[in-house]
Amino acid sequence: MAAPSLPAPYALIHGRLELVAVDHARNINRRYSVEVSKDLFGALIVETAWGRIGGWTAAKRVSFVDRAGADRVVIGHLRRRATAAKRIGVAYRPVAA
């Protein structure tokens, strides 16, 4: 089975993706990041962090035994970010991590 692809234009670079949604006129300054790494036992860790730029950041870490489970979660998060233009009026764009 082929690996699922990330929604365009997102791509994980070295296991990390940083996204921002900024509209100064409407006071929207959001950030979102997804990072995939391995722990000492070989399990995959997917960490997501989100919040207002310059403010408190919330984070969540989830562990997976297989790559397929981690891919499903990452793609689900990024599909949600891809609909931001419709939901909040500003699209998330990738930035250098």
Task: Write the CB contacts of 43 (distance below 8 Å, at least 6 apart in sequence).
Answer: 63, 64, 65
Architecture of domain 16-92: Roll (3.10)
Single out the residue of 47, 44, 54 nearest to residue 20, CA to CA. 54
User: Residues 41-59: pLDDT tens digits?
Assistant: 989 999 999 999 999 999 9
**Confidence bin at 96 (pLDDT 50/70/90):** confident
Residue with tokens 């599909």: 79
CA distances to 9, 33, 42 from 19, in Å: 11, 6, 27
Per-domain residue ranges for the chain?
16-92
